[in-house]
Amino acid sequence: MTFTEAVLDGLRLVLVWPAPGYMLLGVAIGMFFGAVPGLGGLVGMAIILPFTFGMEPNVAFAFILGMYAVTTTADTLSSVLLGIPGTAASQATILDGYPMAQRGEASRALGAAYTVSMIGGVIGAIFLAISIPVVRPIILSFSEPELFALAVLGLTMVASLSGKSIFKGTAAACFGLMLATVGYAEFGGVRRYWFDQNFLLEGLPIVPYVLGLFAIPEVLELAVRNTSISRVEREEVATGGILNGMKDAAKNWWLGLRCTVIGVYVGMLPGLGGSIVDWVAYGHAAQSEKNNENFGKGDVRGVIAPEAANNAMKGGALLPTIAFAIPGSASMAILLSAFFIQGLEPGPQMLTDELNITFTLVWTLVLANVAGAVALLLWGSQASKITYLQGHIIVPAIMLVVFMGAWVGNGTLGNWIVLLVFGLIGYFMKLGGWPRPPIVLGFVLGKIMEEAMNLSMQVHGWGSFSRPIVLIIIALIVITVIFAVRKQKRKSAEQAANADDITLADNEVMVAEEGGKVCPPASWPISAILILLFVYCFYEAIPWSFSPKVFPQTVSVVGLILAIGALTFDLKGLSALRAGTAGRDVVGVDRTYFLKSLYFHGWLIGIFALTLLIGQFPTLLLFVILYLVIWGKFSWKVVLIYTIGAIVFLLVMFNEIVPVLWYEPPWLPSLFL
């Protein structure tokens, strides 16, 4: 079969019924799983995989890839509207997407995101097709030293772009790397930093960890201030937001194309690309675009760059899976299972005898991306209306999703403990002006980096750092740091020079920039705690053998130096604040807000405690009722309707679609037999 015949036959297989029907069903499922924080493509693929038994290969792949293709399109909803990453691939979108929502431009952000997601997904699939015979030697040239260096580059980009202090950004990244070492060490089998809690031996569960850092601080803001997500009234926002976003995507077509290419080729890196691709694209945009001073404050280009890249990444991640049976991501590992179910063997035969099946995958990605993006563009303006709702009406719904999203997986109370602990950590980091994205990326990359570091030292020794590709990446890391430091110094100087002249225009709204404000009274305790933490982690690792301790001790030393630097600047800011000489971006703690925030955290702890007494399901319903009555002061009619909706959602979603094992005290009769 010639190349052209394989392309056409692949298209024919996708269009032969019932493949189109299953693809659209997969798209609908993928939109749901991508939009709900805590679920994502990995959960969705795991759920629908058993249903592919007995299907023809073209139908099975249309179903499973239709779902997979749109999760990084639909995850933009929660990232923009709620400031919560729907999946790991939409973390960078928060930096500018959520401030746009706060400014009343959620539909514009969604319009731009869905447009470039569709184009990025299509072009990514095309690049996959034309790259198949070319990129094999490139992929095979990346060994452990190159993967380690590339992970460091990704962390450096995130740390330097999140917030105004490179010390805080990089120290936060080191904190995330340390969190990744919790549990059994892969090298040596040592139990590390588990505090005698058995559920930590397998490591921190990532979903409650991410939801705690991002979701709870944002929900707390809505509850305590009873504000809508948008800081402006709906009448004050220009109409045609979706169309304006599409125009933004067209205007910035060159940026979108560059980030699409980045997404494809970074996505090809097995196990790594999907973790950093949105950050690499965001870093590229922030450093290469002119007039970039508004990045992180609601610049639509900060939405376009990561959204173009994370959809294009899907095509890139397919290549090592198809060609070498090396999954480019966790979701691709599940796709490998689908190959085996269909009796197909990934490898050279997928590029020769089964080339038409390979192009079936490519065409499915193209058509599913178009279908999903069009559906979301049509629905985006309706979804954006959530940003104008009163805070108290949406908080209970979000908290149901957050608590149950954290529960999905292993379904243990340890997940809720992680959720609440990191909710408190995330709140104090937001209060103190510490960026949170570097912690998540450090956690995601930690195990990959530790494994790469150990294998590099064992196989290549110190020669790892002299390999050509590694040297190129190190040069990029140095350039990234230099540019970040220069940019931060220039911005600080401009703010100091213009401090007395800055006023808000009538239609301008101050929005929260991730890590943008500086609050020394809340920040210096975080710096001090991190110093103690890094010292403890280094000391605790002393008796371990070389392999289990080399990575955490290295990270501890680097993190300690960075945390000391952050503390030094915090103390200077604290002195300036007390002397009245601080800049306008240096603020103190709002005592009333702080006390109300602690009160809300008390409610969350109460959910956990009451669950132990009466069970999970009744506790969540009781939270909904009490919150609406005490915080929202709604009528009993509203409370009744809302509670019925909550019951239906919990039973349908978590009893039927994603079945979970509810926690029920042993002394009570079971509600779910």
Query: pLDDT tens digits for 174-214?
Result: 999 999 899 888 777 788 998 888 888 888 887 788 778 87
- Radius of gyration, CA atoms only, the chain: 24
Spans of the chain, pLDDT less than 50:
236-237, 498-511, 673
pLDDT at 516: 58
Which is nearest to 392 in space by CA: 627, 80, 644, 86? 627
8 A C-beta contact, residue 585 and residue 214: no
Burial of 648 (0-12, 13-18, 19+ CB in 10 A): exposed
Which is nearest to 271 in space by CA: 169, 143, 172? 143
Which is nearest to 277 in space by CA: 236, 250, 314? 314
Residue with tokens 């279908």: 371
User: Can you spell out the DSSP letters for 165-222?
Assistant: -HHHHHHHHHHHHHHTT-EE-TTT--EES-TT-GGGTT---HHHHHHHHHHHHHHHHH
Which is nearest to 319 in space by CA: 328, 311, 308? 328
What separation, in Å, do the N-terminal and C-terminal C-alpha atoms of the chain show?
55
DSSP state of 227: -
8 A C-beta contact, residue 144 and residue 164: no
pLDDT at 384: 56
Angle CA 131–134–139, to nearest 5: 95
Distance, C-alpha 225 to centroid of its chain: 26
> What is the Cα–Cα distance from 121 to 75, expressed in whole angstroms?
14
pLDDT at 501: 46
> What DSSP element (H or E) covers 290?
none
Phi and psi, residue 183, nearest 5°: 105, -165
Phi and psi, residue 483, nearest 5°: -65, -40
Q: How many CB atoms sit inside 10 A of residue 233's CB?
A: 10
pLDDT at 601: 92
User: Can you spell out the DSSP letters for 384-408?
Assistant: GGGGGS-HHHHHHHHHHHHHHHHHT
Number of H helices, E strands in the chain: 26, 2
Give the helix ranges, DSSP H, for 325-354: 330-341
pLDDT at 421: 93
Residue 518, both tokens: 């500086």
pLDDT at 648: 92
Query: What residue segments make up the domains of the chain, in order of their start?
Result: 3-496+510-579
Burial of 503 (0-12, 13-18, 19+ CB in 10 A): exposed
pLDDT at 504: 42
DSSP state of 231: S
Q: How many CB atoms sit inside 10 A of residue 581's CB?
A: 9
DSSP-assigned beta bridge partners for residue 586: 518
**Which residues make Cβ contacts (< 8 Å) with residue 331, sequence separation at least 6?**
41, 42, 45, 68, 317
Q: How many CB atoms sit inside 10 A of residue 338's CB?
A: 21
> Diameter of the chain by CA atoms?
78
8 A C-beta contact, residue 582 and residue 569: no
DSSP-assigned beta bridge partners for residue 191: 184
pLDDT at 554: 92
**3-state secondary structure string, 82-141?**
CCCCCCHHHHHHHHHHHHHHHCCCHHHHHHHHHHHHHHHHHHHHHHHHHHCCCCHHHHHC
Residue 419, both tokens: 């959720």
Distance, C-alpha 159 to centroid of its chain: 15
> What is the Cα–Cα distance from 471 to 523, expressed in whole angstroms?
36
Phi and psi, residue 448, nearest 5°: -60, -45
Three-state SS for 518? strand
8 A C-beta contact, residue 267 and residue 312: yes
Residue 412 identity: T
DSSP-assigned beta bridge partners for residue 183: 192
Query: pLDDT tens digits for 226-255?
Result: 776 655 555 544 555 678 888 888 888 888
Which is nearest to 398 in space by CA: 410, 409, 387, 413? 387
pLDDT at 626: 94
**Which residues make Cβ contacts (< 8 Å) with residue 640, sequence separation at least 6?**
none
